[in-house]
Structure 1
Amino acid sequence: MRAVHENTFQTHDGVSLFYRHWPAVSEKPQGAILLFHRGHEHSGRMAHLADEFDLPDFAVFAWDARGHGRSPGERGYSPSLGTSVRDVQTFVDHIAATYSIAVEDVAVIAQSVGAVLIAAWVHDYAPKIRCMVLASPAFKVKLYVPFARLGLKLQHAWRGKFFVNSYVKPQFLTHDPARIESYRADPLITRPIAVNILLGLYETAERVVTDARAITVPTQLLISGADWVVHHAPQHRFFERLGTPIKERHILPGFYHDTLGEFGRATAVTKLRRFILDRFAEPLNRPILLESHRMGYTREEADALASPLPMISPRGLYWALTRLSMRIGGLLSNGIALGHRTGFDSGSTLDYVYRNAPQGKGVLGRLIDRNYLGAIGWRGIRQRKRHLEELLRAAMARLGENNVPIRVIDIAAGHGRYVLEALDGVRTKPASILLRDYSDINVEAGAKLIAEKSLVDVATFVKGDAFDRDDLAAVQPKPTMGIVSGLYELFPDNEMVGRSLAGLAAAIEPGGYLLYTGQPWHPQIELIARALTSHREGQAWIMRRRTQGEMDQLVEAAGFRKIEQRIDEWGIFTVSLAQRVGP
């Protein structure tokens, strides 16, 4: 048996999560395999695999998710599913830094709930792992009580946090008598699951299955043929939609839910072992996404949204009524009226959303405005602002620690609120802040905000074109911190984005930082296209989503390396920090 070491790592919110580590046996390790257990369990339930894999050239790691096994926290609870997905990223970062293992040399194997976490992580963070194996992913848990999910939602809204006990008996997880008995006797098994995690599991799984074409990591899917715990149909839809050309699906007849703990698991282990070795025998394989504006599923989606609907049709009538209701709402709601006047994607609208203070005519107008500002897209925008401020402060701290002057440029700042408010409480102030925008309205409002915050000695606001490569490259003094937020999402053309990024790369010296945003998903993308107008002379606001992988490739092609990322709980907006590399 391989030697095992026990350790912990720190999450972003200071929790010490437990993990097991089986070092590679050979003198020249090929890489690492990361194991993620199913719901209710812990890393000890997967420990047998470290030997059964028979992969001595690979280090093996297995964590206990927060609230499970020997990791701290209320049993079966996490603040959110998004928090647990971020824990995955932190775990991978820890392994890469602690054991000098490149992310490109990591393979991931995950079961059930763990497989949903990994699928969401790969979709949202676009890591450059070598491959992943998902065993019986819990994309849709079988709730045998009618309308159980709706009931849980209503109870959650009323009661807040509460827990749901697992109904599954171990004899319906595996045919292996030893596994059944060990499950019954294991004091670390966590039968309860917090309702927010159960509901978040459904919501995240639906998003990931729907948008699985964004996933380009080579994937093997193992489906237990006699699974009592989760439905098969979403697993097949996920496989069909996967965006990687390297994918395998294996249905294991008679297998119960604990795929890698089943009586005949050697069949599954043999398949995943071969899949992993094949991936490490070839170079890292990823589709090039730089031409996605010309061909690809997000281009097809945007084209469909731009196509008019027949007026005399159910959908045509529905969206016509929606536009009419927005017009009526604009008579009472200040926010909706501002969107109609300046564009719902304008800097003025964003500044209004950031302030989040409902205004309108009378009580009804304020209620309409409150509902408008509470839309999930605007909630995501405000979370994006918080993430921008967080990573901006982190980048400024990095520059300060290295005694590098902090010179900030934001090439499309809107009113500049998120940049200027990020300076509150910062120990080391920037030497200079240059805010730019194409809009005279934004330049005027931004200059006023600079004066209100008494920052005229360090900050200036000028008119500028964010897509003029040469103009950006000539900026003086040369910035050490570049920001582009909420801009590229409005323009589908990757060539335009490439020119802008090239200008920033020419302006920012090696070692400097770039803060950029993305929008890999939006649950209201058709509402936006059919009912809202943009800042461009009242045209429909039609967005082409960029997957995180596509956005990261554009940034990398310009000469930057992504080092950190944040994403909201709904998977809508990302904020990433990259460092300028090379000469």
Structure 2
Amino acid sequence: MAVVPTDDPNLPTYPEYEFSPPRPKSKNIKFDKKRGLLQSAHEDVSLYYEVFYPEGDDLSVQKPVIIFYHGIQEHFARYCHVIERFATLGYRVAAMDMRGHGLSTGKRAYTTRFSYLVDDAQRFIEQKVLTAEGMNPSKLLLWGQSYGGLLAPHVYLRMKPQLATDTLGGLLLTSCAVGVDKTLIMKLQTPLGPCVSALLPKLALTPAVSPSMMSSDPEAVKNYANDPLNTRGNLAARLAWETELAFRALKKQSAQVTCPLYVTHGSKDVCTSRKESKAFFEAVSSQDKVYVDTSLYHTMLHEPERETIIESMEEWLKERM
């Protein structure tokens, strides 16, 4: 059974402008795509997703499926230049905007509980990836960028007991937010986190990094700042505290990660902690793991040198998927 691309006019649509860098003409990017909505189990939120297939893909044949998780205050379309390449290489790729992000509904860049994000991700895998969209995975690989790099390991740990050992084929983490290097203000705020989160959950309290510090490329900075689907400004108190709890929980469970692991981080990343990503890498029990150190900024897949990282990711996938 071949993919039948769909374009339901009732679905939300991304504005017609480029969120992500140009596709190299030499790569001959070709793919099929389907779009849809998933109803969350929490707070009446509709979650927008897209699934990408190799052009003319035969869904009766099992293939590896990559599930992508984007960062906080952004959306998955910013990474379609990589997603489309993976589909062109023969992988099936699924991506969903987190609640309050992109074309999903919900208060912008906010979640009442971090566990709701994990629940949404699990629901997406169970109801769409494994069933409704017929992606027929031979393996699942979870790829997380930035905050998605915190979500992906939590999803892995949640689903590990219910899936066959070889079904969860790996974690691929780029600029992962498994911890942050706290400023003095953040250190002072942390003890107050539970109280502020409970009393003033939507107070925009925790400082966010300026777009100008996310990339060395002025064009990438401009595109990020001008993207109407990105959220700018400080993080809400509830989100900040739930994230702190997620950091702590992952640190306690890191040794339970046993799948193949790829982590890459940049020395000029001031959004997330390179030190913490290295600590996570060392703490996991995976026998097959690769850490790629770079001198890049946080949005490394938008950096002028992005091709080196993308090719490194492709090579890692080719060897394991």
Residue 23 of structure 1 corresponds to which residue in structure 2? 53
Shift of 1:36: 0.9
Does structure 1 conserve the Cα–Cα contact (< 8 Å) formed by 2:254 and 2:284? yes
Provide the aligned length of Structure 1 versus Structure 2. 279
Q: Which segments of 5 or more consecutive residues in structure 1 lack a partner in the other structure? A: 281-583
The TM-score with structure 2 as length reference comes to 0.80
2:76 is the alignment partner of 1:37: no
Q: What amino acid is the match of 1:223?
A: H
Residue 288 of structure 2 corresponds to which residue in structure 1? 246
* Cα offsets for 1:234-289 (capped at 9, x unmatched): 21111111112111111112x11113222211111111111111112xxxxxxxxx
- Equivalent residue in structure 2 for 1:138, among 177, 185, 191: 177
Shift of 1:218: 1.1
Q: Distance in 2 between matches of 1:171 and 1:120?
A: 30
- Equivalent residue in structure 1 for 2:84, among 51, 56, 60: 51
Task: Please give the secondary structure, in 2, of the residue aligned with 1:76.
Answer: coil
Does structure 1 conserve the Cα–Cα contact (< 8 Å) formed by 2:54 and 2:87? no
Residue 257 of structure 1 corresponds to which residue in structure 2? 298
- Equivalent residue in structure 1 for 2:156, among 116, 122, 134: 122
2:115 is the alignment partner of 1:82: yes
Residue 411 of structure 1 corresponds to which residue in structure 2? none
Shift of 1:103: 5.0
Q: What are the within-5 Å matches in structure 2 for residues 170-189 of structure 1?
A: 170-189=211-230
Residue 558 of structure 1 corresponds to which residue in structure 2? none
Identity %: 22
Shift of 1:220: 0.5
Shift of 1:104: 4.3
Task: Please give the secondary structure, in 1, of the residue aligned with 2:270.
Answer: coil
Q: What amino acid is the match of 2:269?
A: D
Shift of 1:106: 2.1
Higher helix share: 1
Q: What amino acid is the match of 1:136?
A: S
Q: Distance in 2 between matches of 1:4 and 1:101?
A: 12
* Cα offsets for 1:64-107 (capped at 9, x unmatched): 10001110001111220011011111111111102323454222
Q: Distance in 1 between matches of 2:137 and 2:93?
A: 14
Residues 160 and 172 (structure 1), Cα distance of their counterparts in 2 relative to 1, 3 Å cut: closer
* Cα offsets for 1:543-564 (capped at 9, x unmatched): xxxxxxxxxxxxxxxxxxxxxx
Q: What are the within-5 Å matches in structure 2 for residues 521-536 of structure 1?
A: none
Shift of 1:6: 2.6
Q: Distance in 2 between matches of 1:199 and 1:208?
A: 14
Shift of 1:133: 0.3
Shift of 1:26: 5.1
Q: Distance in 2 between matches of 1:27 and 1:167?
A: 41
Q: What are the within-5 Å matches in structure 2 for residues 96-495 of structure 1?
A: 96-126=130-160, 127=163, 128-144=167-183, 145=185, 146-164=187-205, 166-191=207-232, 192-253=234-295, 255-280=296-321
Q: Distance in 2 between matches of 1:53 and 1:125?
A: 24
Residues 156 and 99 (structure 1), Cα distance of their counterparts in 2 relative to 1, 3 Å cut: closer
The TM-score with structure 1 as length reference comes to 0.45
Q: Which segments of 5 or more consecutive residues in structure 2 lack a partner in the other structure? A: 1-28
Residues 227 and 99 (structure 1), Cα distance of their counterparts in 2 relative to 1, 3 Å cut: same
Shift of 1:165: 6.3
Q: What amino acid is the match of 1:240?
A: E
Residues 184 and 161 (structure 1), Cα distance of their counterparts in 2 relative to 1, 3 Å cut: closer
Q: Distance in 1 between matches of 2:194 and 2:102?
A: 27
Does structure 2 conserve the Cα–Cα contact (< 8 Å) formed by 1:7 and 1:20? yes
* Cα offsets for 1:312-332 (capped at 9, x unmatched): xxxxxxxxxxxxxxxxxxxxx
Q: What amino acid is the match of 1:269?
A: I
Residues 250 and 26 (structure 1), Cα distance of their counterparts in 2 relative to 1, 3 Å cut: farther
RMSD of aligned alpha carbons: 2.1
Q: Structure 1 segments of 4 or more deviating over 6 A?
A: none
Residues 166 and 159 (structure 1), Cα distance of their counterparts in 2 relative to 1, 3 Å cut: closer
Residues 157 and 49 (structure 1), Cα distance of their counterparts in 2 relative to 1, 3 Å cut: same
Residues 53 and 172 (structure 1), Cα distance of their counterparts in 2 relative to 1, 3 Å cut: farther
Does structure 2 conserve the Cα–Cα contact (< 8 Å) formed by 1:33 and 1:60? yes
Shift of 1:212: 1.0
Residue 6 of structure 1 corresponds to which residue in structure 2? 35
Q: What are the within-5 Å matches in structure 2 for residues 503-582 of structure 1?
A: none
Task: Please give the secondary structure, in 1, of the residue aligned with 2:278.
Answer: helix
Residues 224 and 42 (structure 1), Cα distance of their counterparts in 2 relative to 1, 3 Å cut: same
Q: Whose relative contact order is higher, 1 or 2, with alpha carbons under 8 Å and at least 6 apart?
A: 2
